[in-house]
Structure 1
Amino acid sequence: MSTIQMSADLMTSRGELRLTRRGRLVIFLVGLVVVLGVGLMLAAGSVATPEPGAAEPTTAVTVGTGETLWDIAAGAAEDGRVQDMIARIKRLNDLDSTMLIAGQELRIPTE
């Protein structure tokens, strides 16, 4: 009778799962598909409404030499809230700062 010796590396305990490289890849891809599916389902809920929004009424103003955004906003703000008008003008014209160039055309909200 012969005795067979097995190394401890080759012996697996009952219930242990050993995955091959392909098995790990499949598990990874299935997990990735699940995560992307959940992400798409959540993103589908944030859809714009089919009704168009009302455009804010504006008028075009050309910046004069030496004119500042504060001057333009002060002339347009009827209630004296110049800071709020500056914020609206910056948002409407996609301005990063209050710096203006002479001859630049701005959209100014009309109240």
Structure 2
Amino acid sequence: MTSIAISTPTTRLRITPRGRRAVTFLVSLPLAVALGVAVVGGGAALASNDAGAPAGSFPEVTVMSGDTLWSIAEELAPAADPRDVVAKISRLNALSGGSVAAGQRIAIPVEYAPAN
């Protein structure tokens, strides 16, 4: 008996310009949806115009010339880790960057309020 080898032709996948556009669209669609959701969700936070704690609900201190959040934290809570105190003050006052200016009034968490 003789064996006959049957070979099947191999074809390479070719994608047309229309197919490339379709693939690009299908890949970018979820990215566009995610970006849209992020923009709409992030805009709500900006639209609230929340500038930190409401006035009068927390004790406040006035920043003096040369004061930093770190020095204020060390003065208010000498036994606590200053990093934790600075983080709480920054969060409470919605301070981005952690810088303060002389004359600025900042709210202090109740647990670190100076005794009167």
State the TM bucket, normalised to the shorter chain. Answer: 0.3 to 0.5
| Normalised TM-score (structure 1) | 0.47
- Higher helix residue share: 2
Which structure has the greater CA radius of gyration?
A: 1
